[in-house]
């Protein structure tokens, strides 16, 4: 596996190009490595696989494919997932989890019962279950995160799932686990208390009070089974469609503030109006929502000692073209991403890093085929545009998030005022500064002067740019129009000047002394 920070040197062979100095836009950034926001939790670089379309069957897992290993896992997909440095992997849904009965998915595969799958209107074979998932997470090198069924599921069912996965005692559940081939417990730490339980579309949807009471008893049983589990409560993400999302979050936290460790929030964005400037500013809304949720958490926790609840932004992505469910069955939610989508993804990751003190987990939805960075057919795969920012962040944006002084020219869009053309975050880890920057301007270069307050640049600065010929450029099975390329940058003393190309995402990596 590639080591972190050697990425641009070892993978990207493009020649170094010095960019021109003639841009019209100028910005300034001041960096003080002691001015920190918080520790960047590696779980910000999580992902998600759901029993939906071709994400699992036909993506992660394809028993009939010549590209699969003896256990049915697609080797090419596994390799691409490993190179993405996925830190935590959520499963089995999503909406799917709300009618998933885990006991259907264990034991000999040929004896598992096929069931009607109502979330996405198909039949679930149950051939990919708990063992298949937990083994997969292990192979990817990701922490598993199981989202339990708090829709149609029962307290017993969820308690026994934790026991099956985590207990070292000799019980009926652990005997069953051993009989199915796994002697040692997996020790799964992260468990979701249901998915989007605020939504009327969710199977087993409840009011906030009913969910709060039900989830509290489930949480107690789960923690009594294994006190080490960390629980993710289902928050409301349904901003502006008639659901009282802040009220839901307040009520649910009142019930769960002594049990939950995270509040789950989701956000998908799109560009249906074909308005680049407005779309690129979507992360401003994300940042506002993070602050609102943080306030609700702080209020709930104001009378609770020695406990913290963080945000798990455990579904996020660009998703708007393939929203319909008209292809009920197999090929659904298959977005084909372009350059502007990749830029939005980079700005979302910047927002998570810039709120690293409160956002401690984030899961791009989803890993393969379904609104995903990896796209397969029966012969192979290609990496979608959004793969690259996620990969570069996951590999290099670690350590402490830094609070930057940013003075950037701004613009206005349909939904937002004061949008900085320069969207940026920075991290500092063991003497290395990593900055991730998006130039939101569609056709102008952005010249930025970086100034270090407390340190000095200690050598050459590596720059990797993700860009393409056009904001609508896409990757396909025939080739990649959007991919990373090495650029060069020269720093002197405390200063670095860098020209960010129009519609680009760039990662700068510098040693500081
Ligand atoms: O990721 C696709 C779907 O979006 C998930 O199943 C659901 O949780 C969300 O609404």
> Does residue 384 fall inside a structural domain?
no
Q: Is 99 in the pocket of ligand 1 (CB under 6 A)?
A: no
> Which atom, in ligand 1's list, is nearest to the CA of 96?
6
Please, are residues 141 and 86 in contact by the beta-carbon 8 Å criterion?
Answer: yes
CATH code, domain with 69: 3.20.20.80
| Residues 263 and 361 both lie in one domain | yes
| Residues 139 and 27 both lie in one domain | no
Residue nearest to atom 4 of ligand 1 (CA): 94
Greatest CA separation found in the chain? Answer: 72
Q: What is the pLDDT of residue 99?
A: 98
123: tokens are 């039949």
Q: Is 195 in the pocket of ligand 1 (CB under 6 A)?
A: yes
> Does residue 137 fall inside a structural domain?
yes
Q: What is the pLDDT of residue 23?
A: 46
50 Cα–ligand 1 center, Å: 9
pLDDT band at residue 11 under the 50/70/90 scheme: very low
Q: Is 198 in the pocket of ligand 1 (CB under 6 A)?
A: no
195 Cα–ligand 1 center, Å: 8
Q: Please tell me what DSSP assigns to residue 103.
A: G
Residue nearest to atom 3 of ligand 1 (CA): 94
| Residues 67 and 116 both lie in one domain | yes
| Residues 302 and 439 both lie in one domain | no
- From the candidates 315, 447, 462, 474, give the one annotated as an active-site residue: 315
376 Cα–ligand 1 center, Å: 20
| Residues 266 and 408 both lie in one domain | no
Q: What is the pLDDT of residue 36?
A: 98
Residue 426 has φ and ψ, to the nearest 5°, of -140, 145
**Measured distance CA(274)–CA(42) in Å, rounded:** 33
**Measured distance CA(342)–CA(318) in Å, rounded:** 9
> Does residue 295 fall inside a structural domain?
yes
Nearest Cα neighbor of 102 from 135, 124, 85 is 124
> pLDDT at residue 1 above 50?
no
| Residues 427 and 372 both lie in one domain | no
**Measured distance CA(291)–CA(429) in Å, rounded:** 25
- From the candidates 50, 124, 143, 196, give the one annotated as an active-site residue: 196
Nearest Cα neighbor of 391 from 145, 86, 144 is 86
pTM: 0.94
> Which atom, in ligand 1's list, is nearest to the CA of 195?
8
Residue-wise burial string across 10-40, b where 16 or more C-beta atoms lie within 10 A, e elsewhere: eeeeeeeeebeeebebebebebbbebbbbeb
Please, are residues 333 and 54 in contact by the beta-carbon 8 Å criterion?
Answer: no
| Residues 367 and 445 both lie in one domain | no
Domain limit, last residue, from 323, 342, 376: 376
Residues facing residue 29 across a β-bridge = 406, 450
| Residues 218 and 159 both lie in one domain | yes
Domain count, the chain: 2
The per-residue pLDDT for range 197-250, each reduced to its tens digit, is 999 999 999 999 999 999 999 999 999 999 999 999 999 988 777 889 999 999
Nearest Cα neighbor of 422 from 435, 406, 434 is 406
473: tokens are 């450029």
196 catalytic? Reply is yes
> Does residue 29 fall inside a structural domain?
yes
The per-residue pLDDT for range 317-364, each reduced to its tens digit, is 999 999 865 555 456 899 999 999 999 999 999 999 999 999 999 999
The mean per-residue pLDDT over the stretch 149-176 comes to 98
Residue nearest to atom 9 of ligand 1 (CA): 94
- Print the domain residue range for 358: 41-48+62-332+353-376
| Residues 71 and 200 both lie in one domain | yes
> Which atom, in ligand 1's list, is nearest to the CA of 196?
8
| Residues 89 and 174 both lie in one domain | yes
335 catalytic? Reply is no
CATH code, domain with 457: 2.60.40.1180
Q: What is the pLDDT of residue 239?
A: 75
């Amino acid at each position: 596996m590639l080591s972190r920070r050697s990425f641009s040197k070892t993978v990207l062979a493009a020649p170094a190009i010095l960019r021109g100095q003639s841009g019209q836009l100028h910005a300034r950034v001041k960096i003080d490595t002691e001015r920190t926001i918080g520790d960047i939790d590696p779980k910000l670089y999580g992902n998600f696989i759901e029993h939906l379309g071709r994400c699992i069957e036909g993506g992660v897992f394809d028993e009939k494919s010549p590209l699969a290993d003896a256990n049915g896992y697609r080797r090419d997909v596994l390799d691409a997932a490993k190179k993405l440095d996925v830190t935590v992997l959520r499963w089995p849904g999503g909406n799917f989890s709300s009618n998933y009965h885990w006991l259907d998915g264990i034991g000999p595969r040929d004896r598992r019962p096929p069931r009607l799958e109502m979330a996405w209107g198909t039949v679930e074979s149950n051939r990919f279950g708990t063992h298949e998932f937990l083994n997969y997470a292990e192979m990817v090198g990701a922490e598993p995160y199981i989202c339990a069924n708090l829709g149609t599921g029962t307290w017993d069912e969820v308690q026994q799932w934790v026991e099956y996965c985590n207990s070292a005692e000799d019980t009926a559940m652990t005997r069953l686990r051993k009989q199915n081939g796994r002697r040692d417990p997996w020790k799964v730490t992260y468990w979701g208390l249901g998915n989007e339980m605020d939504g009327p579309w969710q199977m087993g949807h409840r009011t906030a009070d009913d969910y709060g009471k039900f989830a509290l008893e489930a949480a107690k049983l789960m923690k009594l089974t294994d006190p080490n589990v960390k629980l993710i409560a289902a928050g409301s993400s349904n901003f502006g469609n008639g659901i009282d999302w802040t009220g839901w979050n307040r009520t649910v936290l009142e019930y769960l503030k002594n049990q939950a460790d995270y509040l789950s929030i989701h956000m998908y964005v799109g560009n249906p109006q074909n308005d680049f400037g407005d779309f690129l500013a979507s992360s401003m809304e994300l940042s506002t929502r993070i602050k609102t949720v943080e306030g609700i958490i702080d209020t709930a926790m104001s009378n609770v000692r020695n406990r913290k609840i963080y945000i798990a932004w455990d579904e996020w992505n660009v998703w708007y073209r393939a929203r319909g469910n008209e292809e009920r069955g197999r090929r659904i939610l298959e977005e084909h991403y372009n350059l502007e989508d990749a830029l939005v993804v980079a700005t979302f990751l910047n927002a998570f890093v810039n709120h690293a003190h409160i956002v401690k987990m984030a899961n791009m939805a989803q890993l393969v085929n379904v609104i995903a960075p990896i796209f397969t057919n029966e012969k192979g795969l290609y990496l979608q545009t959004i793969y690259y920012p996620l990969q570069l962040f996951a590999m290099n944006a670690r350590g402490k998030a830094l609070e930057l002084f940013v003075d950037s020219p701004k613009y206005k869009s349909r939904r937002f005022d004061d949008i900085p053309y320069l969207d940026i975050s920075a991290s500092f880890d063991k003497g290395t500064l990593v900055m991730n920057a998006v130039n939101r301007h569609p056709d102008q270069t952005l010249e930025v002067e970086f100034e270090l307050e407390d340190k000095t640049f200690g050598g050459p600065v590596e720059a990797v740019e993700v860009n393409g010929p056009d904001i609508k450029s896409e990757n396909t099975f025939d080739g990649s129009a959007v991919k990373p390329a090495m650029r060069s940058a020269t720093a002197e003393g405390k200063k670095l000047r860098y020209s960010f190309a129009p519609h680009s995402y760039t990662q700068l990596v510098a040693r500081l002394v």
